[in-house]
Structure 1
């Protein structure tokens, strides 16, 4: 952990045994494993693949034969019975077109599962670091309360010795009360973040007390040019591409329906009165005079064109999101470096000097209060910037499916 995020004046607590809330720690790998095992969205996507398997199997089946029988004259002596077996012949490559469309549907279901995994991983990662940073904010709030308590005690001694005005003591009490309220709010925020992460892990209440990790470590990702080079393999783009292919396959299915099927009939006709059995051969051909499936073909073509437009729109949207996230991450990285190297050390030194000066009677409470607020604001800004960096990295990972 960055040294500027450690509680000031609590060195003894750093080397003391871990508190109860720190015993049950959850790692990021454990969180991702639990989420993948219990996620209903992943389960639903996997079942869609199973359903696509059924559709693919159905698409490859041939049409069933037809058996028909007719009787002329119900009297047994003069009865004529005709029995026919009809064999449908699919023309126009209907069956291969159906199979191709079903295969594209299965490919799309597989891509949807990959997309669901990428989105879940990004959400869990973002929530995990949300808990991690909430833990640090709680530590900062506790540190703020400790600083305010020390300032109040120092002012109390000066007031008792007649070296400071009682007004300063009142201000110190107000500042302590505000710090304690902030500590309570930070604790509540931590609980909210913990419950949000628990829900992603399939838990109704958190089974962990804290998450383990290095809060001060900023996420690193390749440069924008390298990220854009990986965009073609993004799960969302792959899903849109497969949807376009599926729509094109459906166009072929509708076009194949414009060719009518032929029904070949083979059977026998039994004439009881004459005692004859005659072979019967029939051929049935629909005449596509009015319905040539032209409306369905037009619909499929337009939906195919729509899928192509959506693919391009998805590409542009992902490119914009990737550029924005990469820019935010780069800006956050620069800000974190400045905060670590310049702002935080200067704020800490100023506070330590003001604290010692107050105890020695060289500075007043207002100087210490200003130094204290500057330090806490710098540390809070560091955490907020770090949170923004993790959020930007999570967006990048979600887009690229990492």
Structure 2
């Protein structure tokens, strides 16, 4: 009894961990980038922003604040606990069956005694179950890396969209200014009789459209900031007066050995590694199901005080695989293994498709970006010629303003083409799980 009490004293006890939705909502709304705990975390990771927040620092904020990575870690902890479950030895069973014989009072009418039975499981099935649990643990651990990369990807895409739309908004505001200038100059010419009223109406309409485009560009910036705040796990108010650093997009480094990186990604991408681990777990589960045709036996030593006689017992029970040989679980395990093999093939095919799609997009967007730069160079040359002609008195101010406006429109096209190239590089980085942007920059 003392031994049993000592063993039971080591059992786990429930510890309540209640959630408080109101307090959690208040904390979520009050999150800021200058929180002491967050600052200490960034310092420990070697990222201490001074005035500006770049790609790496914002990615670390997402890792610290967003729950996605914690969910993956909790799934890994559950898979790790499943390994402990597979390894543990079944507890013995204590049986007591006291009886009282009312017809025989001598030497004693009482029959009592404990029997402790132990389950001796099939060792092959036990080892297969442990192997399956370990492989599921490996799959869960691999998905932590996938979750971390997803955090990085979300922050990068949101920051890239904000970078592009802020530059486009500046260009559209400049274009609106040129359109206003052109409208005023045309109005002056209409008043002097040099142009007709239709020209003034057309110029005024163009100026209105340019102002509307500039206003829409500002709305996109607000949307991008909201998206970036969601990506880092902050309320949008936390980014309101924060200076952002877009240096990561200035000089991306495209992969040099794409064929080798492709082969590596087809083997080491977290989705592929996890799919392979799940297949191995399904294979081990099939071995366990086959071995459990003979699940083991029970042995039960015991003692009986039987009406004055001391009796020692050794009970032995063995299941007989006569009515079934575990056919159902074996068939289910075989089907799961076939499904896991197909899932592994699908994982590799998806990775290859992502890489091929990103490569094609990068090739096409690179060609478009080069053509856009050529158009921009031509537009700048013509703008320079128009400015020189105006300064020399050969042409009027309207022609110079029109040349400046056309250059601004071509600059917007070039910026859009360059942003498409950067997005294709980002997609290639995600497909390869290979860093391309300067994420080491704070």
TM-score of the aligned structures, taking structure 1 as reference length: 0.85
Listed as ranges, the matches of 1:85-234 within 5 Å are: 85-208=116-239, 209=242, 211-214=244-247, 217=251, 220-222=254-256, 224-231=258-265, 232-234=267-269
1: CA distance, partners of 2:404 / 2:260: 43
1:137 Cα deviation (Å)?
0.9
Aligned length: 376
Tell me, what secondary structure is at the counterpart of 2:119? strand
Partner of residue 68, structure 1: 95
- Measured against aligned partners, the alpha-carbon deviations of 1:290-323 in whole angstroms (never above 9, x if no partner) come to 2322111111111111111111122122112201
1:121 Cα deviation (Å)?
1.3
Partner of residue 413, structure 2: 381
Tell me, what secondary structure is at the counterpart of 1:163? coil
Query: Are the equivalent residues in 2 in contact too, given 1:131–1:211 (CA < 8 A)?
Result: no
* Runs ≥4 residues deviating over 6 A: 355-359, 367-370
Tell me, what secondary structure is at the counterpart of 2:313? strand
2: CA distance, partners of 1:330 / 1:223: 15
1: CA distance, partners of 2:334 / 2:117: 34
Partner of residue 281, structure 1: 314
2: CA distance, partners of 1:172 / 1:349: 24
Equivalent of 1:45 in 72, 78, 85: 72
Partner of residue 361, structure 2: 328
2: CA distance, partners of 1:368 / 1:394: 39
Tell me, what secondary structure is at the counterpart of 1:287? coil
Tell me, what secondary structure is at the counterpart of 1:131? helix
The 1:74–1:41 alpha-carbon spacing in structure 2 relative to 1, beyond 3 Å, is: farther
Query: Are the equivalent residues in 2 in contact too, given 1:194–1:206 (CA < 8 A)?
Result: no
1: CA distance, partners of 2:275 / 2:136: 12
1: CA distance, partners of 2:133 / 2:264: 29
Partner of residue 237, structure 1: 272
- Measured against aligned partners, the alpha-carbon deviations of 1:194-227 in whole angstroms (never above 9, x if no partner) come to 1001101101215335532256656623354243
Query: Are the equivalent residues in 2 in contact too, given 1:224–1:323 (CA < 8 A)?
Result: no
Tell me whether 1:265 sits opposite 2:300 in the alignment: yes
Q: Which stretch of structure 1 is more off in the superposition, 41-50 or 387-396?
A: 387-396
Listed as ranges, the matches of 1:22-61 within 5 Å are: 25-61=52-88
1:40 Cα deviation (Å)?
1.1
Partner of residue 17, structure 2: none
1:346 Cα deviation (Å)?
0.9
2: CA distance, partners of 1:288 / 1:383: 73
2: CA distance, partners of 1:331 / 1:223: 19
1: CA distance, partners of 2:418 / 2:381: 22
CA-atom RMSD, angstroms?
Answer: 2.6
Query: Are the equivalent residues in 1 in contact too, given 2:172–2:213 (CA < 8 A)?
Result: yes
